[in-house]
Amino acid sequence: MISELSKLDNQAALRALETSGKLIEEITKNLAKQCTDKGAISVAKMDENQLISYGLAWITAEQRIAENFLRYAWDSSIGTSELEKMMAVTFAAEIVSHIRSELIAKPTEFTLTSEKIQSALFINEINSFIENSMKIGIYSAIAEKIVEKGHAGVYGLSDDHESFRETFRKFAEDVVKPHAEHVHRTDDIIPMDIINGLNEMGCFGLCIPESYGGIQSDEKSDNISMLVVTEELSRGSLGIAGSLITRPEIVSKALLKGGTEEQKQKWLGQLASGEIMCAVAVTEPNYGSDVAGMSVVASKVDGGWKINGVKTWCTFAGYAKLLLVLCRTETDPALKHKGLSILLAEKPSFDGHSFDYTQPEGGRIEGKAIGTIGYRGMHSFEVSFQDYFVPDENLVGGEAGRGRGFYLQMEGFSGGRIQTAARANGVMQGAFEAALRYSQERNVFKKPIYDYNLTKYKIARMAMIIQASRQYTNYVGKLLDEHKGQMEATLVKFYASKISEWVCREAMQIHGGMGYAEEYAVSRYFVDSRVFSIFEGAEEVMALRVIAKGLLEEKL
């Protein structure tokens, strides 16, 4: 074992990633040339080979996450040890191995020759690095160190953020988890002690500046606090805790970006205090991520607007008193997404799986919850608007906000996407902890499941993936604090969402038959993980229309 561990080489990992990174860079430049039309990236040309665009997005995500994982593991200032270094090097080996297998399978489509790929990524040094770093003994050693230390890698947070994490971890253990299974199995509503508890802790004001009643500094953004809270609450339950602060995040970001001062003063304080809960109505039955095709219309009337049409997947729309509605306010169809605006529609709060409200003016809103396999508690509604009146003062940005709804919504969604990565990290962490605990308790063939090296391999891989995803999520959070990293937020959402299914699947598999039973929380983690690649932007749309397109545009 010692001889195997001694072969783990940080410099070899860096050189291997540098080589794979250069090839990805060359591919990106070549594809940018192929997909350029009149000086701009042509989506039509990209769509001629969506598989390669998707593949580019995925290997770029893997590459950047692996590079960041190595930087984290060798950052002595945050207290990393041999465990983190072992995980980072082995993760790098896995990523380089996967990237080269993807490229060599489709060299021409990736704009390279097989000879170039082989001469770069299949040389003796890289072959040896991958072989030495991915031996079963390495994975077993990682698993054993996790058990020895009682954790799967330091979080690398500041003292304040670590204290924050511990506070919300305790809340998740003491308040959230006792309700989680009941709500999931019965599709019940979120218990008020969770909402009230989070409100008392200032949770809904995490992304709102102090000057507007929140707890975020007026001088500097602090996305890490939001990510830490989201992850710990999601570890307790995605449906009744982890997603509660997502909607205030999206609505407040849109208001801060483009709302009038009067709107900020009116709504941000109420959101921060939890006086009103909000929901987001963007998706339509026939138009998911195709925002330009949206058909819900707001028609100008005396003193305001009347909304007509149907929105779907409006999470928490029943309980919420305020709906952010992205709708078409401009009649010219040629404007497409530039004809959209945001209206803030007010309504009474309703419990349960349906609601129906008629305004004194005669406008009507009704909603019915959509049955889902997981992500239960908040309920996702299909909402119908029939001449539903919204006053002029609730047009975000006022007259200057007309036609800017798409852009203001994207400001909110970037925060929602990084938050989704944190939610995925929390669900993965919960599943991992459950799997490790069960593997040590369950005996098969007269010894614990944990003692078998295949189980240790799975435990180690889960831990590496979670820590790599977490560290990149936090890195992107810091970029967003500097008003950068919009594309990276989508990239880590894409990665964490997809990989969480594998982690939760393996955690479920370690439980064997009991993993398929609702008696154990791991089955809930598994079905909850499935939603991440769908909401806050479908996986394919994120990969093709945001990540790949953004990568190609950087090369023009």
Name the residues annotated as catalytic. 536
What distance in Å separates the CA atoms of residue 90 and residue 212, rounded to the nearest whole number? 46
Pairing, β 322-328 against β 304-315: unpaired
Whether the CB-CB separation of 536 and 420 falls below 8 Å is answered with yes
SS3 helix, strand, coil % of the chain, rounded to 5?
A: 65, 15, 25
What distance in Å separates the CA atoms of residue 78 and residue 67, rounded to the nearest whole number? 17
Query: Which residue blocks in 39-191 are alpha helix, DSSP H?
Result: 43-46, 50-73, 82-105, 114-121, 124-133, 136-149, 159-171, 177-186
How far from 550 is each of 57, 60, 390, 487, 508, CA to CA, in Å? Answer: 10, 12, 36, 7, 36
Whether the CB-CB separation of 536 and 417 falls below 8 Å is answered with yes
Integer-rounded Cα radius of gyration of the chain: 24
Measured in residues, the chain has a length of 556
**For residue 300, what are the β-bridge partners?**
305
Q: Which of 346, 367, 526 is nearest to 434 (CA)?
A: 526
What distance in Å separates the CA atoms of residue 467 and residue 142, rounded to the nearest whole number? 13
Pairing, β 340-346 against β 364-369: unpaired
Coil/strand/helix, residue 436: helix
Whether the CB-CB separation of 104 and 28 falls below 8 Å is answered with no
Place of tokens 């006022």: 398
What distance in Å separates the CA atoms of residue 198 and residue 192, rounded to the nearest whole number? 10
Per-residue H/E/C for 199-238: HHCCHHHCCCEHHHCCCECCCCCCHHHHHHHHHHHHHHCH
Count Cα neighbours of 252 within 13 Å in the Cβ-side half-sphere.
29
Q: Which of 254, 274, 278 is nearest to 264 (CA)?
A: 254
Q: Which of 502, 497, 503 is nearest to 434 (CA)?
A: 503
Taking the mean position of all CA atoms in its chain, how far away is CA 225?
Answer: 15
What distance in Å separates the CA atoms of residue 210 and residue 207, rounded to the nearest whole number? 9
What distance in Å separates the CA atoms of residue 458 and residue 460, rounded to the nearest whole number? 5
Q: Which of 411, 493, 503 is nearest to 57 (CA)?
A: 493
Q: Which of 37, 38, 29 is nearest to 56 (CA)?
A: 29
Coil/strand/helix, residue 282: coil
How far from 308 is each of 207, 388, 409, 441, CA to CA, in Å? Answer: 31, 7, 20, 56
